[in-house]
Structure 1
Amino acid sequence: MAQMPTARLRRLAREMRRLRSESGLTREDVATRTSVNEATLYRLEAAKGRPQRRTLMALLDAYGVDDAKREAILTLSTQASEQGWLRPYHADLPDEYVGYISFEAEARTVRNYESLFIPGLLQTRDYAQAVVRGVLPTATVKEVGQRVQARVERQTVFAKATPLELWAILDEAALRRVIGSPKIMAEQLHHLAEIAAEPYVTLQVIPFSAGAHAGMPGSFVLMDFPDPGDPALVYIDSMAGDLFLEADEDIRRYDHIFDHLRALALSPDESASLIATLVREIS
C-alpha cells in the first residue's frame, strides 16, 4: 500500500513549503544546493510521502532552521506516518478510503451531508452490509466483509476520551429508502434515534417539503482538526472517484453550503420526531 496521508503529514508538508518560501529558494535552487532532487522535494511538499531523516536534515540546513525549530520538525516527521487505526486487512481497501479513515480518526469535528445513505459513522452492521452489497454488486464475500468491518471500526471515534463531534444532515430520502429489508431498516432507524441523543452527535433531516436545495448535487464531508495548524478538509465520494479538497475557496464554498442546509433542515428535535414516526411506520 502507498503512503497514506495523515493530518500530521499534511502539517509537515505545509511547514516545509513555508520554510522554503521564507528562505527565498525555488525548488530548483534547493536541488542545486542539496542532494535532494526536485521530484523528491515535490513529493515532500505535497504530503505524498514522509522524507528520510538525511533528506530532511539537508533541507533544514539549506533553510537555516535553528535548533529548536529543527527538533520540532524532526519530531513531526517521526509522527507523520503513525496510523494507530490501521488494520492488516486495510491493505486490501482502496487507498482513497484508507486515507479518508486516517483523516476521520484524527479529526475534531465532522460535518456530513448525505442525500441517499445513513452516514457511515451511524450505520448498523446489517445496514452497512446491505449498502456495500448493493453499491458493489461484483464484490466478493471477503471484500464485503472487509468494507463492513472497516465501517464499524470507524465508529470507535465516538469512544475516545474526547469523542469526535459529528453534525449530520440527511435528506429525508435517506431515511425512507428501505435498505436490506424492513427489519434491517427499522433497526437502523431505531439506532439512529438512540445515537442522535448523544451529546457528540447533532442530527438534522431535510424534509421532502423543503423542495430543491443546495445538497441535491451530492453528499460531502467537512473535517476540522484539533491542531489549528491543520487546515480543514472536504471529502467527496462520487462515481468519478474520491476527491480531497483543501483549497481555502473550496472549504469556504462547502462551509457555506452546509450552513445553508443546516438552516433549511428540521431542528434536531423535529428530526427526532420524524425518525420516530418512520420507525413506527416501518415496524
Structure 2
Amino acid sequence: MVNPTIQRRRLGNALRRAREAAGKTQDEAAVVIDAASSKVSRLELGQSGLRLTDLNLLIQLYGVPEEEAASMRELARAGRQRGRWSSYRNVVPDWFRAYLDLEGDASHIRWYQAEVIPGILQTEAYIRGLHATAQPRLEADDIDDQVAVRRTRQAILDQPDAPELHVILSESALRRNIGDAETMREQLLHVAKMSRRRNVRVQVFPFSAQTYETASFGFTILRFGDEATSDVIYVEDFIDAEYLDRRDAVRAYTRLWDRLIAAALGPVESRRLVQRLADELERPDT
C-alpha cells in the first residue's frame, strides 16, 4: 500500500499540473479555498492534507475532467490516513516522519552528510553513542525506539525493489568519534561492507579536496521512479526541515551534488580510506 505522504505528494503534483494547464495562479487558487497562497504552495508540495470540499472547489476552478477528478479525490482520502511511523511519535517529530515516509518509497536516494554517518548506515552501537550525550537526555526506552526506527529504515536496502543509495561522506564524519574506539571501528567496517552492495555507492569527500562553502551542511535528494521531475530535496536543521521541489531548487542542489561527486574520492578509493581508518582503531594485541 502506498503511504499517505506519497499520496499527498501525488495529489499535489496533479493539482499543480491542473492549475498550470488552466492558466491559474496560486493566488487565484487561494482565493477560491479562502486560504493564503502559502497554503496552496504547501498543498502542491504534498506537505499538508486537503479537505474534499476545498479539493472540489479547485477541481471546478481548474476545469478538471471527471475521470481525473475522481482520481484526485481518492488520493485526498488516502492522504489523510496515518503514516507508518505514527507509533514513534515520542522520538520522531512530525517534520521528520514525513521524510521517513518519502525515504521508504524512494527509488533513488542521494545523500551528502557532513558530520555524522547517515542514519540509514548507522550501527546500533553508533546510534546509542549518538544519544548517550544528547541534551536533553533520552530515556532508555526512547533510545530503543530510535534504534528500532533506524533498523526499520535500513530494511528497505534488503527489499527486492531496494532503492539505489548513493552517499557522499565528508571525511570529518568518518573521523568524528561517536562512542568508544570499538564503536567507531564497527561503524566504519559496516560502511565499508555496505559500500560493496550492488545498490549502494559510498564516496568520501576528503579534507584535501577543495572546500565548497555551500557543502558545509547535509542534504538528501529523493527520487521516485526514473523521472527527475519527481525529485525532492530534504534539508534538515536542529528543529525543523525543508522539503523543496521547485525546479530552481532541484537544479541548484543537483549541481552541488555533481560538484561533490567530482571532488570526492572514487568508490574504491573511498572504501580503502574507510577500511584504513577502521584498521587504525583496531585494538592492539595484549
Q: What is the one-letter code of the residue matched to 1:276? A: Q
2:244 is matched with which residue?
245
2:113 is matched with which residue?
114
Q: Any conservation in 2 of the 1:28–1:38 contact (CA below 8 Å)? A: no
Secondary structure of 2:273's partner? Answer: helix
Q: What is the one-letter code of the residue matched to 2:153? A: R
Deviation at 1:161, TM superposition (A): 2.2
Q: Any conservation in 2 of the 1:113–1:169 contact (CA below 8 Å)? A: yes
The share of aligned pairs that are identical, in percent, is 30
Q: What is the one-letter code of the residue matched to 2:35? A: E
Deviation at 1:215, TM superposition (A): 5.8
Deviation at 1:192, TM superposition (A): 1.1
Deviation at 1:116, TM superposition (A): 1.3
Q: Which deviations, in whole Å up to 9, do the C-alpha atoms of 1:184-228 show, x marking residues without a partner?
A: 111111111111100110001122222523564211111111274
Deviation at 1:173, TM superposition (A): 1.4
Deviation at 1:112, TM superposition (A): 0.8
1:262 is matched with which residue?
261
1:37 is matched with which residue?
34
2:87 is matched with which residue?
88
1:11 is matched with which residue?
10
Deviation at 1:92, TM superposition (A): 4.9
Q: Any conservation in 2 of the 1:104–1:223 contact (CA below 8 Å)? A: yes
Secondary structure of 1:210's partner? Answer: coil
2:137 is matched with which residue?
138
Q: Any conservation in 1 of the 2:4–2:78 contact (CA below 8 Å)? A: no
Distance 1:228 1:207, change over 3 A: closer
1:198 is matched with which residue?
197
Q: Which moved more, 1:61-70 or 1:202-211?
A: 61-70
1:73 is matched with which residue?
72
Aligned mates of 1:103, 1:236 — CA distance in 2? 13
Q: What is the one-letter code of the residue matched to 1:277? A: R
Aligned mates of 2:225, 2:108 — CA distance in 1? 8
Secondary structure of 1:50's partner? Answer: coil
Secondary structure of 1:38's partner? Answer: coil
Q: Which deviations, in whole Å up to 9, do the C-alpha atoms of 1:143-171 show, x marking residues without a partner?
A: 33322321221112212221011110111
Distance 1:263 1:62, change over 3 A: closer
Secondary structure of 1:139's partner? Answer: coil
Q: Which deviations, in whole Å up to 9, do the C-alpha atoms of 1:227-250 show, x marking residues without a partner?
A: 749631111222363222222222
Distance 1:187 1:215, change over 3 A: farther
Aligned mates of 1:257, 1:178 — CA distance in 2? 27
Distance 1:13 1:154, change over 3 A: same
Query: Do residues 220 (structure 1) and 219 (structure 2) align?
Result: yes
Q: Any conservation in 2 of the 1:106–1:225 contact (CA below 8 Å)? A: yes
Equivalent residue pairs, number:
278
Calculate the TM-score normalised by the size of structure 2: 0.83
Q: Any conservation in 2 of the 1:107–1:225 contact (CA below 8 Å)? A: yes
1:148 is matched with which residue?
147
Q: Any conservation in 1 of the 2:5–2:83 contact (CA below 8 Å)? A: no
Distance 1:83 1:158, change over 3 A: farther
Q: Any conservation in 1 of the 2:4–2:81 contact (CA below 8 Å)? A: no
